[in-house]
Amino acid sequence: MLSPDRVPDLAPLTHAAADYDIVRRAIAFISEHWRAQPEIDAIAEAAGVTPTELHHLFRRWAGLTPKAFLQAITLDHARALLRDSASVLDASFEVGLSGPGRLHDLFVTHEAMSPGEWKSGGAKLTIHYGFHASPFGTALIMATERGLAGLAFADGGEESKALADMRRRWPAATYVENVERTTVLTRRIFDPELWRADRPLRVVLIGTDWEVRVWDALLKVPMGRVTTYSDIAAKVCTPAAARAVGAAVGKNPIAFVVPCHRVIGKRGDLTGYHWGLTRKCAMLGWEAGRVGAA
């Protein structure tokens, strides 16, 4: 059992999850109508709240006004980020976690499972899991003795689907529901006040050698920046491998922490996301607010 002084306060995450339920409705409307730059009244009506409520909610959830959030997820903004990110990303790949932008970032230290452990489908591996509130809806947190191994998301009623999806990745592993254990990880992941370079989050990557190389490259993309599949390919192999990179990005088992949501199309389009394009927009907008607020 956790001692009383170690029990994390999850109330902020519970409130953030409730906010996200409204935010995702707003994002869906914004994503569909962004070219028309809809007014806050129209966005609020689509989200089912008043304009004032929506304004306060976005400020609380992301540190941005609805208008600023709208600007942060437009195609023009994404293209500007791509142009601005090139030299920053080069520096980040050279110097790793001490690179530009890391002031705002979740710090991660990682290792990979051996090829044999991956090929066995997780045999002899025990994975503890639990469902928790997060700023992006319900989060499925999965951990081994060596660290965080999986993070997936689910909208209401889709929890069993998310768990089944993750279990298919390591079918021979033993799964144990252990909410007490995963609660500590949840706050460590989603509470920016706990993002400290001297106490990095331990992550274990379970995949092929190629997938692990791609996921390692993703960890070097700073918060508030984006990159493309071809740029990641150039870092790990050759630009011609962009399609293979896309496949590895799509198989990333640790959403948000291994930031595959920061990979977009070379023209600035957001492209797909395993846990939903609305959630990808939410993550990019939320991070824009965190970077701007710091």
pLDDT tens track for 119-170: 899 898 999 999 999 999 999 999 999 999 999 999 989 999 999 999 999 9
Looking at the whole model, is its pTM more than 0.75? yes
Largest CA distance in the chain: 56
Do 9 and 184 form a contact (C-beta atoms < 8 A)? Answer: no
Tokens linked to 199: 């106490």
What is the spatial distance between Cα 204 and Cα 160, in angstroms, rounded to a whole number? 23
- Enumerate residues 6+ apart whose C-beta is below 8 A from 116: none
Strands (DSSP E) contained in 65-136 are 108-112, 126-134
What is the spatial distance between Cα 32 and Cα 58, in angstroms, rounded to a whole number? 19
Q: Render pLDDT for 201-230 as a digit per residue (tens, 0 to 9).
A: 999 999 999 999 999 999 989 888 899 999
Could you give the percent of the chain with pLDDT greater than 90? Answer: 55
Q: Flag the least confident range among 71-75, 167-171, 195-199, 208-212.
A: 71-75
- Enumerate residues 6+ apart whose C-beta is below 8 A from 259: 218, 219, 221, 223
pLDDT, residue 256, reads 97
pLDDT, residue 93, reads 63
> Which H or E run includes 140?
strand 137-144
Tell me what the pLDDT averaged over the chain comes to. Answer: 87
pLDDT, residue 87, reads 61
What is the spatial distance between Cα 80 and Cα 100, in angstroms, rounded to a whole number? 17
Residue 90 pLDDT > 90, yes or no?
no
Residue 29 pLDDT > 50, yes or no?
yes
**Band of pLDDT at residue 8, cut at 50, 70 and 90:** low
pLDDT, residue 86, reads 64
Do 114 and 167 form a contact (C-beta atoms < 8 A)? Answer: no
Q: Flag the least confident range among 83-97, 126-140, 149-163, 234-248.
A: 83-97
Q: Which residues are catalytic?
A: 260
Residue 77 pLDDT > 90, yes or no?
no
pLDDT, residue 3, reads 43
What is the spatial distance between Cα 155 and Cα 28, in angstroms, rounded to a whole number? 14
